[in-house]
A and B are shown apart, each in its own frame.
Chain A
Amino acid sequence: MQPTPKQAAEAIGINKSISRNVGDQLIRLVLFLAASVSVVTTIAVVYSLSAETISFFLDPAVSLWEFLTDRRWTPLFGESQRYFGISPLIIGTLNVTFVALVVGIPLGLGSAIYLSEFATARTRRTIMPLLEILAGIPTVVLGYFALFFVTPILRDIIPGLNLFNPISAGLVMGFMILPTISSISVDSMQAVPRAIREAAYGLGASRVEVVLKVVVPAALSGIVASFILAMSRAIGETMIVALAAGAKPTFTFDLRETIATMTSFIVQAAKGDQPAGSIGSRALYAVGSTLFLLTLMLNIASNQIVRRYAERYE
């Protein structure tokens, strides 16, 4: 009788063994679960934020309209003086972010151009790790530096500057985001093909012209993406603001005033140990949701842009 294929395979020992099969599937499952942790984390983030945020808006003391339009934010105060308008926190965040970007974008882009186009390979290899160290300095240390070193100097220069102010915080934050802008921009400039540069050189362009008229425009989407990512970093940064910019929600565009950002409010509310379920605790989650949505949008935008330019040169 003709053996079945299975018997034939067994006869020479190349059949699938149950134990190996089970072992392989088990390993695959374990690894899959490890990879799924990130999905679970996302779900948990969204769930924890939204559950308490919904409770926040369901509270009779709060209305969405007030949240969006009122210019006062005092959720931790007594019942008679509580106001729930998030705009002071948004404005405060924007003040700091504005200063940070004004400092960080030119510095980041300039250093990226230098490192990618002008520096020797050796210089680049020395400086990049140093920039990484700058990026790796804990923000509580940067906050200390802003408060105890930068602020006193600025107060000598700028009249009427408060002890806690967005300028000092933003200035230091600008340096914090510099490595982000720089490294992503360097990557995207390095991705510009040699052939394009050589074509420009072949037409008699100088080094500077090649950089400004060929490389930077070709790498523009990556550069813009780095700005957006840096902006998201600045918005989400906490310790520098909490230490150097203060925690007094103020609806003002005067950069000398003490303000509060979304993040510094969260710290303040958390430190005050609001009991779970209280309106103060829920306000923390509501601000957290706003912060999360804002930074998520920026990150998605930045990723999208990066991905598009990555495809172009493949």
Chain B
Amino acid sequence: MSVSILSDAERKRIEGKRRRGKAFVAVTAVPVVLALLLVATLFFDVITDTVSWQIVEPSQTTASWSFSEGFAWGNTWENVVTKELEARGEDPAAVLNNPEERRRFKLRNRVELLWSLNGQPLRYVVSNSRDDTVDNIGVFEGFNNQEALLANLRDGQELRLNPWLDFAFLSKNASRSPLMAGIGFAFIGSLWVIGLVILFSLPIGVGAAIYLEEYAPDNRFTRFIELNIRNLAGVPSIVYGILGLYAFVRLFNFEVTVISAALTLSLLILPVVIIASREAIKAVPPSLREASYGLGASKWQTVSRVVLPNAVAGITTGMILAVARAIGETAPLLVVGAAGFIPRAPSGPLSEYTVMPIQIYAWVGENDPEFANVASAGIVVLLTVLLVLFGAAFYLRRRFERSW
């Protein structure tokens, strides 16, 4: 029916316009798709990098060629080590029951889950730090050239598929040998640093937010504080590192310790914590404050019994996101002197430390290409921690999105 109203040319014009409109919408959707694709590719790449093919030769000094045997899936660590030591012709009890011997054994040997193409498909293997890696090959490359690789193996060599990220990785620590390297100390270091960061930045950040939202008079100094916070939020993180180097490392003489890292990162995330807490406090409806004042509550009673309990979900969400940022920060800690290799696990505010991103950075900088695999295993651990935090933040946000 509408045919009669529109001329042919008119209809074509409208058609074309509609088509161009659709194309435009599609074009604007492309960046979103690209961004999501990038995230997906990154995760995929990092995860696949945690597995590599290796051609390995047993170290000359170790008598037995232990992993040609392997140990079945489901064995305990003690079990595997006992059998391994028996195979090497050593006395398992002597090693395992003597703390010093045990420590030394752990330092040099790693029990890992491996696929080896000339053995059972999945089993535990005890590797020795002196075993020699002849070649390290990416997952896909290895899959494609499997036949050739197998054909070219020399006597005593083995082709294995090594998942770098296993339980041993979580408990092992920095090492010159990629096989022995793990994220243990760095994980503990991150816990220490972040614990202190929360301790410093939560009370100060929330206190500042309460002051600005509930107490501050509308005067120049208040506006100056607000301006400061806005500008600090935009200062590059590395500049906080320079501040930390000048103030905490050198002036206060804390040197390269957990506490100088924690103070530096606390100042870094403070603006974020303040801004998020202010938003949360602002979202508490004024009518609740009035109700409280109307009942004869003082300002602090109103803040502590009405405002904060109703802002706590928002503050927590903001704090989680800020902490997530602090966990991944690398640059400022490099400037305040964090190193990738430390001899002992951090045990307090004044101990030497490393944290996960620093450890990853140190691994990326290593020459041995196997360290790239180690770094990716570290990245997967770091990203897992962050995803858990993001998940918690999003859950809280959804759960407590309240309309008054």
Q: Do chains A and B touch in the complex (CB under 8 A)?
A: yes
A-side residues, CB < 8 A to B, are 20, 23-24, 27-28, 30-39, 41-42, 44-45, 48-49, 51-52, 106-108, 110-111, 113-115, 117-119, 127, 129-134, 136-145, 147-149, 175, 178-179, 206-208, 229, 232-233, 235-239, 242-243, 263, 266-267, 270-271, 273, 276, 284-285, 288, 291-292, 295-296, 298-300, 302-303
Docked-complex contact A31 and B210, CB < 8 angstroms: yes
**B321 touches A (CB below 8 Å):** yes
A52 contacts across to B, CB distance below 8 A = 246
Cα–Cα distance between A42 and B271 once the two chains are bound (Å): 11
Q: How far is the CB of B21 from chain A (nearest CB, A)?
A: 5
Interface residues of B in 278-314 (CB under 8 A from A): 298-300
**Cross-chain pairs A/B with CB under 8 angstroms, 12 sampled:** A27-B300, A28-B215, A32-B215, A35-B212, A35-B225, A44-B247, A127-B36, A138-B327, A141-B383, A243-B361, A243-B364, A295-B239
A132 contacts across to B, CB distance below 8 A = 390
Docked-complex contact A48 and B247, CB < 8 angstroms: yes
* Contacts A238-B237, A292-B239; A110 near B28 (Cβ below 8 A): yes
A300 contacts across to B, CB distance below 8 A = 231
* Contacts A31-B215, A140-B360; A236 near B42 (Cβ below 8 A): no
By beta carbon, the residue of chain A nearest B245 is: A270
Nearest 10 A-B pairs (CB), nearest first? A236-B236, A138-B328, A34-B207, A48-B246, A299-B234, A238-B331, A114-B28, A31-B211, A107-B31, A111-B31
A237 contacts across to B, CB distance below 8 A = 236
Docked-complex contact B331 and A267, CB < 8 angstroms: yes
Cα–Cα distance between A136 and B24 once the two chains are bound (Å): 29
Q: How far is the CB of B328 from chain A (nearest CB, A)?
A: 3
Docked-complex contact A145 and B357, CB < 8 angstroms: no
Q: How far is the CB of B143 from chain A (nearest CB, A)?
A: 18
- Contact for A291 among B207, B225, B238, B390, CB less than 8 A: B238
Q: How far is the CB of B345 from chain A (nearest CB, A)?
A: 21
Docked-complex contact A41 and B31, CB < 8 angstroms: no
* Contacts A137-B328, A141-B379; A266 near B242 (Cβ below 8 A): yes
Cα–Cα distance between A33 and B210 once the two chains are bound (Å): 12
- Contact for B239 among A31, A179, A291, CB less than 8 A: A291
Cα–Cα distance between A34 and B204 once the two chains are bound (Å): 5
Inter-chain pairs besides A110-B27, A236-B237, 13 sampled, C-beta below 8 Å: A27-B300, A31-B207, A31-B211, A37-B204, A38-B270, A41-B243, A111-B32, A132-B390, A134-B39, A141-B383, A270-B335, A284-B242, A295-B235
**B267 touches A (CB below 8 Å):** yes
Cα–Cα distance between A21 and B267 once the two chains are bound (Å): 32
Q: How far is the CB of B379 from chain A (nearest CB, A)?
A: 5
Cα–Cα distance between A270 and B36 once the two chains are bound (Å): 35
A175 contacts across to B, CB distance below 8 A = 34-35, 38
- Contact for B46 among A38, A44, A133, A144, CB less than 8 A: A144
- Contact for A138 among B232, B250, B274, B330, CB less than 8 A: B330
By beta carbon, the residue of chain A nearest B224 is: A39
Docked-complex contact A134 and B38, CB < 8 angstroms: yes
- Contact for B228 among A39, A129, A208, CB less than 8 A: A39
Docked-complex contact B360 and A144, CB < 8 angstroms: yes
Docked-complex contact B236 and A295, CB < 8 angstroms: yes
A111, A134, A237, A243: residue with the most chain B Cβ atoms closer than 10 Å: A111
**B25 touches A (CB below 8 Å):** yes
Docked-complex contact B390 and A136, CB < 8 angstroms: yes
Docked-complex contact B229 and A38, CB < 8 angstroms: yes
B28, B212, B357: residue with the most chain A Cβ atoms closer than 10 Å: B28
Cα–Cα distance between A271 and B358 once the two chains are bound (Å): 12
Interface residues of B in 148-182 (CB under 8 A from A): none
* Contacts A31-B210, A34-B211, A110-B30; A45 near B364 (Cβ below 8 A): no
B324 contacts across to A, CB distance below 8 A = 136
B361 contacts across to A, CB distance below 8 A = 140, 143, 239, 243
**B318 touches A (CB below 8 Å):** no
A133 contacts across to B, CB distance below 8 A = 39, 387, 390
B27 contacts across to A, CB distance below 8 A = 110
Cα–Cα distance between A128 and B331 once the two chains are bound (Å): 27
Cα–Cα distance between A175 and B41 once the two chains are bound (Å): 13
**B208 touches A (CB below 8 Å):** yes
By beta carbon, the residue of chain A nearest B34 is: A107
A145 contacts across to B, CB distance below 8 A = 42, 45-46
B-side interface residues, number (CB < 8 Å) = 87
Cα–Cα distance between A117 and B28 once the two chains are bound (Å): 10
- Contact for A114 among B25, B210, B235, CB less than 8 A: B25
B121 contacts across to A, CB distance below 8 A = none
* Contacts A136-B386, A239-B330; A118 near B208 (Cβ below 8 A): no
B203 contacts across to A, CB distance below 8 A = 34
Q: How far is the CB of B316 from chain A (nearest CB, A)?
A: 16
Cα–Cα distance between A145 and B47 once the two chains are bound (Å): 11
Q: How far is the CB of A25 from chain B (nearest CB, A)?
A: 11
Q: How far is the CB of A228 from chain B (nearest CB, A)?
A: 10
Docked-complex contact A141 and B45, CB < 8 angstroms: no
Docked-complex contact B45 and A131, CB < 8 angstroms: no
Docked-complex contact B41 and A138, CB < 8 angstroms: no
Q: How far is the CB of A232 from chain B (nearest CB, A)?
A: 6
Docked-complex contact B36 and A137, CB < 8 angstroms: no
A114 contacts across to B, CB distance below 8 A = 25, 28-29, 31-32
**B370 touches A (CB below 8 Å):** no
Q: How far is the CB of A59 from chain B (nearest CB, A)?
A: 17
Cα–Cα distance between A106 and B34 once the two chains are bound (Å): 12
**B88 touches A (CB below 8 Å):** no
Cα–Cα distance between A178 and B299 once the two chains are bound (Å): 42
Q: How far is the CB of B117 from chain A (nearest CB, A)?
A: 25
A117, A206, A229: residue with the most chain B Cβ atoms closer than 10 Å: A206
Cα–Cα distance between A117 and B207 once the two chains are bound (Å): 38
Cα–Cα distance between A127 and B72 once the two chains are bound (Å): 44
B247 contacts across to A, CB distance below 8 A = 44, 48
**B12 touches A (CB below 8 Å):** no
Docked-complex contact A49 and B242, CB < 8 angstroms: yes
B34 contacts across to A, CB distance below 8 A = 107, 175
Q: How far is the CB of A70 from chain B (nearest CB, A)?
A: 23
Cα–Cα distance between A149 and B37 once the two chains are bound (Å): 14
